[in-house]
Amino acid sequence: MRSLLGDHVLLRLQQETGGALHQRLFHCLRNAIIEGVLPVKTRLPASRDLAREINVSRNTVLSAYEQLQSEGYVEARTGHGTWVSEHLPESFLNTQIFHPYKTTPANENYLLSQRGTYLLGHASASPYQWGAFVPGAPDVTEFPHHIFSRIQADLSREPDINHLIYSNAGGCVELRQALADYLRVARSVQCDTDQIIITEGVHQAIDLVSRALTDLGDHVWIEDPAYWGALNMLRINGLNIVPMPVDAEGMRPETNPTTLPKLIFVTPSHQYPLGSRLSLARRKQLLELAKQHSCWIVEDDYDSEFRFAGQPYPALQGLIPNAPVIYMGTFSKTIYPALRIGYLIVPKALFTPLRTVAAELYRGGHLLTQRALAEFIRGGHYEAHIRRMRLLYGKRRAYLVKLIQRYLGNFFLHEFDEDSGLHLVMQLPNTCDDVNIATAALQRGVKVRPLSQYYMHSHAHMQRGLLLGFACVEEKEMLMAFGVLLQCLKEAGITTLQNSV
């Protein structure tokens, strides 16, 4: 029977390419020592035993052991065998030993790549995304869980084999069909089933599009300010992010660009986080630019179902036939974030390449849940739930707006904000420090996000403010949390109309 070390060496030998066999064996053993697979003072197997286990000649093992000894990784004493040295050469060079299995509390990040370290430095997800005033959080308690679980239970009793196996089809076909029908009507999206790829949310969709359609160092235009999650996805994929300012008409793209982007990333229906809507003129401008320079517009349509007055604005994707637009949607806001189901609508030519890349990268899955979701949509429950939430969130938003008007005044309501979405922006004077205010509020249990942190650079058009989510907060809780916020504003020297709620 082979030892664990034998298995490890055999596996690593297959990955080592180039060089004589004894050299490759030396590398495998040295790495095993450096990585701690063979801890210090461990006895190496006798050369004859290891040779037999990994099916090489004894001389090959002896050569590798000799090199390990001459470089100081092992010590050998005649009659006592070969041992991993107590002091490895790396410790003399004063370099950190790469150790994939252990971290030290003093420097927990030292295992990370530069990319990983960079991403960690930009990590922004809150540890607990629920309560006043978490932006972008729907009221997950309002979802008709009893209906969804009944559908799931029915389907699980005798599951279709297609929903249990590996698949590279781009997600459950029934869900793709249901979505195509829904989106054509609800969002004026032009699509067929064979343009839809199911993803685990917008985050994964951005990752997929970035990896499949861009190369390291390519330029991507994105609104500034923007959603930090999108920025992080683009960053980790090595893209060159070019911020474009936002005004009341949405993204203000460069008219004579010096460097052309591969992707133009926009939130046209509800600019995140400021709330403006991309005007028709800008929509046409972007489409023209994308067609002219063969780049893709990536439309993140994350929360457009929630427009509380008037009709929802149609998607940019459907504005012209064969628009150079990749459309992204998510169930995170309409159902609940932990469902982790979203979708991409791609031009027909991109469907097969992208669904194949998706299968290679992520393998897909949760097909039974997707099937249940299809049934939920087909049965009319999805639209009914959205209608109900639109009413509820609309009322909660109106309540928050009233609080702001009454205790702070209209100046504090951001001018771009429209009657939609799951959050609003409370504008603050540009002289104040919104990060400090948000920190003070958090210390008292109220979660708000500082607007300035959504900007890529601090420049002239950067504004101060707080993002306040209202969807998952009942009015009573909202009132109490608002009182805390008011106190924080007062302590920051901001004049309020009334001192307490």
Contacting positions for ligand PLP (CB under 6 A): 136, 201-203, 227, 229, 267, 272, 300, 302, 330, 332, 337, 342
β-bridge pairing 296-300 and 74-77: unpaired
Cα dihedral 147, 153, 154, 158, rounded to 10, equals: 160
Query: For residues 191 and 180, what is the distance between their CA atoms, to the nearest angstrom?
Result: 6
- Alpha carbon of residue 379 to chain centroid: 30
Which tokens sit at 38? 């063979």
Nearest residue to ligand PLP by CB is 201
What distance in Å separates the CA atoms of residue 7 and residue 37, rounded to the nearest whole number?
Answer: 12
Q: Which is nearer to ligand PLP, 222 or 400 (CB)?
A: 222
Q: How far is the CB of 131 from ligand PLP (least distance, A)?
A: 15
Q: Taking the CB of residue 249, how many other CB atoms lie within 10 A of it?
A: 17
Nearer to ligand PLP, 73 or 331 (CB): 331
Of 173 and 233, nearer to ligand PLP (C-beta) is: 233
Pick the closer one to ligand PLP by CB: 224 or 300: 300
Q: Kindly tell me which of 296 and 407 has the beta carbon lying closer to ligand PLP.
A: 296
CA proximity to 372, closest of 198, 128, 245: 198
How many Å apart are CA 156 and CA 80, to the nearest integer? 61
Q: Cβ of residue 137: shortest distance to ligand PLP, in angstroms?
A: 8
Least distance in angstroms from the C-beta of 273 to ligand PLP: 8
Rounded (10°) CA dihedral 421, 208, 324, 231: 50
Rounded to the nearest whole angstrom, what is the least distance from the CB of residue 124 to ligand PLP in the complex?
10
CB of 119 to ligand PLP, least distance (A): 16
Q: How far is the C-alpha of 264 from the C-alpha of 377, rounded, in Å? A: 31
CB-nearer residue toward ligand PLP: 229 or 268: 229
Instruction: State in angstroms the smallest separation of the CB of 140 from ligand PLP.
Output: 13
Q: Give the position of tokens 């909202």.
A: 478
Joined tokens for residue 40: 């210090």
Backbone angles phi, psi at 291, to 5 degrees: -70, -45
Q: Name which of 45 and 229 has its Cβ closer to ligand PLP.
A: 229
Q: In what order do the strands lie in the sheet with 465-469?
A: 423-427, 465-469, 449-450
Nearer CB in complex with ligand PLP: 61/234: 234
CB of 74 to ligand PLP, least distance (A): 49
For the bound state, the minimum distance from the C-beta of residue 447 to ligand PLP, rounded and expressed in Å, comes to: 13
> Measured from the CB of residue 199, what is the shortest distance to ligand PLP in angstroms?
8
Neighbouring residues of 255: CB distance < 8 A, sequence distance ≥ 6: none
Distance between CA 383 and CA 487 in Å, rounded? Answer: 40
Cis peptide before 225 (omega within 30 of 0): yes
Nearer to ligand PLP, 136 or 364 (CB): 136
Contact 174, 371 (CB under 8 A): yes
Which tokens is 30 given? 């040295």
CA dihedral 100, 106, 109, 114 (to 10 degrees): -110
Residue closer to ligand PLP, measured from CB, 60 or 304? 304
The least distance separating ligand PLP from the CB of residue 396, rounded to whole angstroms, comes to: 17
